Amino acid sequence: METGYHTILVAVDGSKTADLAFEKAVQFAKQDKAKLVIAHVIDIQTFANVRANQKFIDKNVTEYAEELLQGYEQRARDAGVENIDLVIESGSPKTIIAKTIAPHVGAGLIVCGAVGMNAMERILIGSVSENIARYAKCDVYIVRPRTLN
């Protein structure tokens, strides 16, 4: 069943739920022969209070993001997706994904996990997926974690 999306953006953070979102985004991209944009946002708020080792942290976080996206890219290629872009941004994932990355890449669909790595932030000020759904100008598909029930 073709949905008609030309560009599908999937937000990943290394969590299990992001992995499920990635799998779903790959399925959509294959169905529609769409471009798959795999994005990771380095959450600068996480490191805002760490100044002493800022250069060391910046380098390691960027290297982690690059390795993370390269792993996802290889998995997408192995699954048969040919048109893939990788995006790394810094800022708040809550706003960057929907307000900056999605319009820039021309996303028709954003796929994200309902629960990511930063559970404490979700409890205090709301989830990334909630904000993506609220601010995106395109369709949003939110993947919930699988349970064993």
CATH of the domain at 125: 3.40.50.620
Residue 127 belongs to a domain: yes
Residue 135 belongs to a domain: yes
Residue 16 belongs to a domain: yes
Residue 148 belongs to a domain: no
Going residue by residue through the chain, which has 149 residues, state the pLDDT in tens, using 9 for 90 and above. Answer: 456 899 999 999 988 999 999 999 999 999 999 999 999 998 876 555 555 445 545 667 889 999 999 999 999 999 999 999 999 998 889 899 999 999 999 999 999 998 655 555 545 445 888 899 999 999 999 998 876 44
CA gap 23, 52 in Å, rounded? 38
pLDDT at 128: 87
CA gap 76, 36 in Å, rounded? 9
- Do residues 37 and 10 lie in contact, with contact meaning Cβ atoms separated by under 8 Å? yes
Residue 83 belongs to a domain: yes
Residue 77 belongs to a domain: yes
Range of the domain at 21: 7-143
Looking at the structure of the chain, the number of domains it has is: 1
- Of the CA atoms within 13 Å of residue 37, those in its CB half-sphere come to 21
- Of the CA atoms within 13 Å of residue 107, those in its CB half-sphere come to 32
pLDDT at 23: 97
CA gap 112, 12 in Å, rounded? 7
Residue 149 belongs to a domain: no
Tell me phi and psi for residue 87, to 5 degrees.
-135, 130
- Do residues 30 and 2 lie in contact, with contact meaning Cβ atoms separated by under 8 Å? no
CA gap 53, 131 in Å, rounded? 31
Sheet of 139-143: strand order equals 84-91, 35-43, 7-11, 109-113, 139-143
